[in-house]
Copies of this chain bind each other. A is one copy, B any other.
Amino acid sequence: MPKEVHYSDYLQLDKILSAQRPESAELGLAAHDETLFIVIHQTYELWFKQLLVETGSVIDIMQSPALDDNSPELQTVVHRLGRCATILKVLVHQIDIMETMTPMDFLDFRDMLRPASGFQSWQFKLLEARLGLKYEHRYGQEYYISQLRQPEINRIKTAEKEKSLLQLLNEWLERMPFFNESTNWEHFVNKGPDPFWSEYRLRYQESLADREKDNLSLFDAVFYPEGSGQPVPAGEDKPRTTRSLSPAACRSALFIMLYRGYPILQLPFQLLHQLLEIDEQLSTWRYRHMSMVHRMIGTRIGTGGSTGKDYLKAALESHHLFKEIAGLTSFLIERRRLPPLSPEMEKRLGFIA
């Protein structure tokens, strides 16, 4: 006989619904909108927790050596990344609710919150670290450390040391896991002077307009190991210091984009797509957040002591984690000009005929 579960107990509503204690009421100057301010931030934090659960599970799966061609887990990865994007869309939408609070209404309690600030959301910083933001690329590094408590800093530091989703993506692309050992990607594409990529480079070159000729050296910089000017075996590729994805990983990602119709490339294509979706939603969230802060406090100093708008603006530029995947778009050529694949290769890309 299983125990009975009650909705209120299950959701621990006693804790959830008793966790709103407005400062303005404490100070005897009750401001109506402060509850809204608390509730919206609590829902954000709940969703950040969920995003951490989802990205954590994706990272676990991608670390496992079992993520091969036939793993049902690849679908799980795509599905959960898709869920992250869906959650982020709601977080963007929630800004509409915040905007029902006018600047005058915020002023009623704003100064009572100092120095609390959204910068102190360690969950969001942890999320960024998990996705792949390194400490050295973070805007305003020292400031952000100064805002957090030691246990929170530790959690983020730990995440920065562990493999991020971005790094795991790089590794997964490098080993092109949807091929098995004996018939792997390098076997087809990279052994010796690679005929496929030589051919592709030629066709890419032909596709460039006069004013785009610089794109060819960009092509070489992205896809060929530094200084080579030529394709080399993938094992020798090393990620450049200034880029997150290695030439080998970029070649795999481009190949997936070009030939996404083949069965074995379909989920990998969706995986790349979902990462771009997450990046775009995160950046839309930062953008709308930035505009909202600007409308709310103008050039005044935020409760945390900084001008939030500048931070968000900088983050908008530099925290765009999967931009190297998005950037591969520059190197596509028209489908009808693609080099044909060998029958052997085509066979490997499909199911048993």
Interface string of A26-58 (1 = CB under 8 A from B): 000100100110110111011101100100010
Residues in B whose Cβ lies below 8 Å from that of A350: 69-70
How many chain A residues touch B (Cβ–Cβ < 8 Å)? Answer: 120
Q: Is the CB of B329 within 8 A of A70?
A: no
Residues in B whose Cβ lies below 8 Å from that of A108: 334-336
- Given contact pairs A90-B93, A211-B301, A333 touches B16 in the complex (Cβ within 8 A): no
Q: Is the CB of A100 within 8 A of B116?
A: no
Q: Is the CB of B45 within 8 A of A39?
A: no
A35–B50 Cα distance when bound, in Å, is 7
Residue of B90, B119, B123, B262 near A90 (CB, 8 A) is B90
Of the listed stretches A155-163, A229-237, A263-271, chain B binds A263-271
A35–B93 Cα distance when bound, in Å, is 22
Question: Nearest-CB distance from A80 to chain B (Å)?
Answer: 8
Residues in B whose Cβ lies below 8 Å from that of A8: 120, 122, 149, 152
Q: Is the CB of A178 within 8 A of B351?
A: yes
Q: Is the CB of B15 within 8 A of A19?
A: yes
Q: Is the CB of A42 within 8 A of B50?
A: no
Q: Is the CB of B261 within 8 A of A180?
A: no
Residue of B19, B79, B332 near A100 (CB, 8 A) is B79
Q: Give the copy number.
A: 4
Residue ID in chain B nearest A209 by CB atoms: B301
Interface residues of A in 278-310 (CB under 8 A from B): 280, 283-284, 287-288, 291, 294-301
Tell me which of A87, A276, A283, A351 has the highest count of chain B C-beta atoms within 10 A of its own C-beta: A351
Q: Is the CB of A120 within 8 A of B6?
A: yes
- Given contact pairs A69-B263, A291-B283, A38 touches B10 in the complex (Cβ within 8 A): yes
**12 further contact pairs, Cβ within 8 A, besides A16-B19, A90-B96, A298-B331:** A6-B120, A7-B116, A7-B119, A12-B42, A29-B336, A69-B353, A79-B100, A83-B97, A89-B96, A266-B266, A297-B330, A300-B329
A-B pairs with the 7 shortest C-beta distances?
A72-B261, A298-B330, A7-B120, A70-B350, A298-B329, A12-B19, A83-B100
Residue contacts A-B, CB under 8 angstroms, 10 given: A10-B116, A15-B18, A86-B96, A90-B94, A107-B332, A108-B336, A263-B351, A284-B288, A298-B326, A348-B352
